[in-house]
A = this chain, B = another copy of it.
Amino acid sequence: MTEKILITGANGFTGKHACHYFSKKGMKVIAAVRRDNNICNHSVKQAVCDLTKKNEIELLLRKEKPYYILHLAGQNDVSKSWNHPHLTMETNAFATLHLLDAVRQENFPCKIIVVTSALQYDMKIDKYPPHPYSLSKSVQSIISESWSEFFNLEIIIAKPNNLIGPGDSNGVCSLIAKKIVDYENNKSKDPIVINDSSIHRDFLDVRDAVKAYDYLFQRGKRNEIYNVASGKSQSLGDLIYIYRELSNTNFPVSIKKSSKEISPVQVDISKLKALGWSPRIPFRTSLQDILDYYRKKAVKK
């Protein structure tokens, strides 16, 4: 019997990679999307479902009863969360509750990964979250932890950092690559503006992240929170340096500031590593693949 996985946010950056990965693994993928995206193929079945409507997710679960659920759907844009705070809460926090409560009600065996965010705030330390996006992901997390605890649901929480790789993304690596490709194609001569080249981030290839979600399904512990990251700190300066090596052009960069104090990020990924997972794709390869993605896209236009 083929194992069935429901992937929400299947048309998003991570969602597309996840559909590809799990279908290639031989699983039956139900790709939940808000609008018809025509993403069916022999092993991926599209399911149009507005997760902010509880009855829609109930109907879908009753029909499909997937053994795995990878809940990726969400509004992931921090600046959009300022203009659309209610929508952000609804999409990230309430929709997650609708999903988890539908699982509780339908009462079928099921393992769920709820993908939250490294941008959550620490309620033990910070009085307020820095933005509505952070609040929405924190509320998503405490609802998920509570529903797992109250109703004995198999919920695992994955907390990814900056996921990068080929595909449409609003992350900094993609935004810069797009500009480089525009420059390579003589479409723009504007410099790439970096506010502070000493800012550090933990970047992880999205394909490594998807593999981490697979490890969590197989070996993760119920109601544990797992950081999904590379464990390595890269500065925006490093990023530009590598892109320079990978591009054929000498694209202009305007660095507004480069602080002397370097504050690397240190994300603890020991819990995930203890399950046997480790990141495989080097940072340079991710950047190469991102550039190639946008180069191909530019040719298609």
Which residues of A does B touch, CB under 8 Å? 54, 82, 85-86, 89, 94, 97-98, 101, 104, 123-124, 127-129, 131-132, 135, 138-139, 142-143, 145-147, 149-151
Residues of B within 8 A of A54 (CB): 86
- Contacts A85-B101, A85-B151, A129-B146 given; 6 further ones with Cβ under 8 A? A54-B86, A123-B123, A127-B145, A128-B150, A132-B146, A139-B139
Residue on B with the closest CB to A87?
A: B101
Residues of B within 8 A of A89 (CB): 97, 143
Instruction: Known contacts A85-B150, A101-B85, A123-B123; decide if A135 and B142 are in contact (CB<8 Å).
Output: yes
* Between-chain CB contacts (< 8 Å), 28 pairs: A54-B86, A85-B101, A85-B104, A85-B147, A85-B150, A86-B97, A86-B98, A86-B101, A89-B97, A89-B143, A94-B94, A123-B123, A123-B124, A123-B142, A124-B124, A128-B146, A128-B149, A128-B150, A129-B146, A132-B146, A132-B150, A135-B142, A135-B143, A135-B146, A138-B142, A139-B139, A139-B142, A139-B143
Q: Looking at chain A's contact residues, is the secondary structure mostly helix, strand, loop, or mixed?
A: helix
| 7 tightest A-B CB contacts, nearest first | A86-B101, A123-B123, A128-B149, A135-B146, A124-B124, A139-B139, A129-B146
Residues of B within 8 A of A104 (CB): 85
Residues of B within 8 A of A151 (CB): 85
Residue on B with the closest CB to A97?
A: B89
Residues of B within 8 A of A86 (CB): 54, 97-98, 101
Give complex CA distance A151, B81 in Å: 12
Give complex CA distance A89, B132 in Å: 19
Give complex CA distance A146, B85 in Å: 11
Residues of B within 8 A of A129 (CB): 146
